[in-house]
Structure 1
Amino acid sequence: MNIENQRPPQSPPVSSTAAVQTTPSLPGGDAPVEPPQPPAEKSQLPEALPPSQPPPVPTVMIPSRNPNALYSGGGISFLTGNSNARFTYGYCSFKGKRASMEDFYETRISEVNGQMVAFFGVFDGHGGSRTAEYLKNNLFKNLSSHPDFIRDTQSAIVEVFRQTDADYLNEEKGQKKDAGSTASTAVVVGNKLLVANVGDSRVVASIAGSAIPLSIDHKPDRSDERERIEQAGGFILWAGTWRVGGILAVSRAFGDKFLKPYVVAEPEIKEEEIGIVDFIIVASDGLWNVLSNKDAVYIVHDIKDAEVASRRLVEEAYMRGSSDNITCIVVQFEKL
């Protein structure tokens, strides 16, 4: 995420799931293992291997006290609504070249009104990490408690995104410094995959081997976004890139109270049947700034372990020169 003059150095936040886990488990249940001490020199990512030779599954947890640690993990699969498909997932997150970590992520499997559902989200903060952390802690909780979540999932997503943004802004009243976050989310309900996006993180699917974007980045120079901003009384200016009010390089985000009503948390939603999807990649722009949709899908398509796939993508983005935090989730669907 790119915001002008709003990234003071700070200690990186540590997610409760931010650990390499060697035995898949439900999210939030990662059991830390006492690791060996890291080397004294600055941590670097291992040399990336070609897609045909994926790196081995990690065997130790990288200690959270290391600010340059790369975190990864994965989760179990379960049968979907019609019991003819299942999925596994893996995640990876790395501070990279940024002075602080402003990415958060969430992976959750839960039962809602007797229906098993899954939620995957990547939240890329700007102006600090507090908005992204708030979304990690509250967005799925709010969505799963919506009375129409199972019956009318799309409408529930729109209402919950708006209300979560309003709730967060209410908590921000005492804050003098502005902050915000993107949100790229994927929800599995029965046989449906619903992708809801706010900002310039992105969800890309592999369908019959082809890279299919399931979200479109919200950039100020997108013609429909520019028109919406200007009709609301705002403007965009060029300041190294196009920015809302000359400040923010995305046109939709949670938070950013000083840029309301021009920057909104209104999601765009795409729905697919999971039966046609091979896998999806949910990632922050630290990955997409240096990897095309096609490249990302190509790297993942021969890797059978979702956690290994997510690590491989982060490593490749870093090797290609990404200057941002890099976070991604890979969800692989298996037909039975």
Structure 2
Amino acid sequence: MIGDTMTLLSLLGRIMRYFLLRPETLFLLCISLALWSYFFHTDEVKTIVKSSRDAVKMVKGKVSEMLQNDRFGRLSILDAEFSKTWHFKNNNVAVYSIQGRRDHMEDRFEAAADYVKAHLPDLLKQQLQSFEREKRESASSYASILEQRILDVDREMLGKLSANHDEAGTTCLVALLSDRELTVANVGDSRGVLCDKDGNAVALSHDHKPYQLKERKRIKRAGGFISFNGSWRVQGILAMSRSLGDYPLKNLNVVIPDPDIMTFDLDKLQPEFLILASDGLWDAFSNEEAVRFVRERLDEPHFGAKSIVLQSFYRGCPDNITVMVVKFKSGAAAGSSKSR
């Protein structure tokens, strides 16, 4: 009985780690356990319900205490606590990135992310410039160029990393502004969202997660499986179903590098800004919450990128967190790219 109770408590701890600050999830969890306790009258369930309530109260108290502190003063104090913090700002683009609670900084200082950073932007820029010069005679498009270059980088990287038995992998999220169109290519579970002229959140990408029906069917057809280990994972290993790198899973064809590409009319949307971020942000914020949060902080030095990264950390995010914010200027266009 003691072993069973510890197993249940361990599972509860894992669930709370990932979903503790999502009120709707906590509410449903407590109601479900309370009903279970009512109908089956098991002492161990009653113990878990009480423990979960106590934990919720404790964490809510901590969060309230943090939020009562001065916003900017609190942020500067925390800067010194992160072993790897990286930031960048140039004109209308700002990036802020922290290692957070992870043992390693995979968003930036990792073999696959470094390879994509070193090889994708410059070659993509060259291809796009060539396309602009020969556009009238070319059958290509921005979408096809993005797709082909991303697939090329994945193939080249797999050859190099697999030779060294390096199993590193990365997401890839690229936003290209041209004329009055925005083209977004996505591989993995980094995510883009745009704030339109009315303050609405417009999704620029869709996460590639193993539990999604389309991805689950594809993985099954390839002879693979997904299992739950804190989150749904391909072959019990990878928490996303598409990536660049990850050569052992690529060899099995259960993880693929194919990007989803979406195009948006900027004249119609008249955007204020866009956010490109790794999955660490989206563990703590919905699209709508992120847009509201950043919109209120666009006058900050990093256009709200720093504040939302550290707020995600406050909310208990266990992952690395990287956020890019691009402010739109009237009549101006700018391009940006980001990889995990």
TM-score by length of 1: 0.68
SS of match in other structure, 1:248: coil
Q: Deviations over 1:213-245 (max 9, x none)?
A: 111100011111111222223222223322111
| Cα gap change, 1:316 to 1:256, in 2 (>3 Å) | same
Distance 1:326 1:184 in 2: 14
Q: Is the 8 A contact 2:294 2:303 kept in 1?
A: no
Q: Is the 8 A contact 1:143 1:149 kept in 2?
A: no
| Cα gap change, 1:212 to 1:310, in 2 (>3 Å) | same
Q: Is the 8 A contact 2:82 2:100 kept in 1?
A: no
* 1:92 paired residue number: 96
Give the CA deviation at 1:49.
Answer: 8.2
Give the CA deviation at 1:67.
Answer: 5.7
Between Structure 1 and Structure 2, the one with more strand by share is: 1
SS of match in other structure, 1:330: strand
SS of match in other structure, 1:137: helix
Q: Is the 8 A contact 1:54 1:308 kept in 2?
A: no
Match 2:158 to one of 169, 179, 184: 169
Query: How many residue pairs align between the two structures?
Result: 251
* 1:221 paired residue number: 211
TM-score by length of 2: 0.68
* 1:107 paired residue number: none
Give yes or no for the alignment of 1:294 onto 2:288: yes
Distance 1:296 1:49 in 2: 20
Give yes or no for the alignment of 1:130 onto 2:111: yes
Give the CA deviation at 1:172.
Answer: 1.5
Give the CA deviation at 1:287.
Answer: 0.8
| Cα gap change, 1:135 to 1:303, in 2 (>3 Å) | same
Q: Equivalences for 1:55-204 in 2 at 5 Å?
A: 55=72, 68-76=83-91, 88-104=92-108, 129-146=110-127, 149-150=131-132, 151=135, 152-204=141-193
Counterpart residue type for residue 254 of structure 1: L
Give the CA deviation at 1:265.
Answer: 1.2
Q: Is the 8 A contact 2:303 2:325 kept in 1?
A: no
Q: Is the 8 A contact 1:274 1:333 kept in 2?
A: no
Counterpart residue type for residue 254 of structure 2: Y
* 2:330 paired residue number: 335
Identity of aligned residues (%): 35
Give yes or no for the alignment of 1:321 onto 2:316: yes
Bigger-Rg structure (1/2): 2
* 1:243 paired residue number: 233
Give yes or no for the alignment of 1:283 onto 2:249: no
Distance 2:316 2:84 in 1: 17
Distance 2:97 2:148 in 1: 29
Between Structure 1 and Structure 2, the one with more helix by share is: 2
> Which structure 2 residue ranges, 5 or more long, are not aligned?
1-65, 136-140, 332-340
SS of match in other structure, 1:307: coil
Once the two structures are overlaid, the 10-residue window that deviates more, 248-257 or 236-245, is 236-245
| Cα gap change, 1:173 to 1:70, in 2 (>3 Å) | closer
Give the CA deviation at 1:334.
Answer: 2.8
